[in-house]
Copies of this chain bind each other. A is one copy, B any other.
Amino acid sequence: MNTTVLFETLQQFSRMLTHMSAFIEKANSHMQKFKTTNIDQALQLRLVVDQFPLSKQIQSSCDIAKLFAARLTGKEAPVYQDTETTYGQIQERIQNTLTYLKTIEEKDFTGWEEKTISFPWMPGQYLKAKDYIEKHAIPNFYFHLTTAYAILRANGVELGKGDFLGALPFIKNN
């Protein structure tokens, strides 16, 4: 793994956050059209009572991308209080995260191999950077983003795989 791979992983995280912003916007339009749940109320929907609601799935997706950048570059990340309760606030959270991610350049990842990654929920222990990237950050990012999508799908919002993956750069055969 090298800084190019890490920078491209971050760019892919940014793309996925952009897709999430778009499918939340689509959910808003859907709910207005069919006069079902209000989008602000929908932020409290969850798949099951002991799982986090949509708002927290979105916040987590943002934070995993943000912390991936901050932990591996050492560039301080903005802190958010997870107080978003409206459509406008949650979209702003995504945009603010994207703005921070845009400040990261490939060279900022130099020296990432030496970083040790610790978590508030596992005091006195750390992960090696490589393990953190492969076994925690990437799967966890997609976990929360997919769960946000799943909550909307389970509640009748018309979304498809294309909304999740976004447009793919297909090339025509010669």
Interface residues of A (CB under 8 A from B): 1-2, 4-5, 8-9, 12, 15-16, 47-48, 51, 116, 122, 124-128, 131, 134-136, 138-140, 142-143, 146-147, 149-150, 153-156, 161, 164-166, 168-173
Nearest 6 CB-CB pairings of A with B: A142-B142, A146-B146, A125-B170, A47-B154, A150-B150, A12-B134
Residues of chain B with a CB closer than 8 A to A166's CB: 135
What are 23 A-B pairs at a CB distance below 8 A? A2-B2, A15-B135, A16-B139, A47-B154, A48-B153, A51-B153, A122-B170, A124-B172, A125-B170, A125-B173, A126-B170, A126-B171, A127-B168, A127-B170, A127-B171, A135-B168, A135-B169, A136-B165, A139-B164, A140-B161, A142-B142, A142-B143, A146-B146
In the assembled complex, the Cα of A4 lies from the Cα of B1 at a distance in Å of 7
How far does the Cβ of A109 sit from chain B's closest Cβ, in whole Å? 14
CB-CB < 8 A to A16: which residues of B?
139
Question: Contacting A165 at CB < 8 Å: which of B2, B8, B124, B135?
Answer: B135
> Would you call A128 and B15 a contact (CB within 8 A)?
no
Q: In the assembled complex, which residues on chain B have CB atoms less than 8 Å from the CB atom of A9?
A: 134
Contact assessment for A8 and B134 in the assembled complex, using a CB-CB cutoff below 8 Å? yes
Q: Are B1 and A5 in contact (CB under 8 A)?
A: yes
* Cβ distance A34 to chain B, nearest Cβ, rounded Å: 14
Q: Note all chain B residues with C-beta closer than 8 A to A140.
A: 161, 165
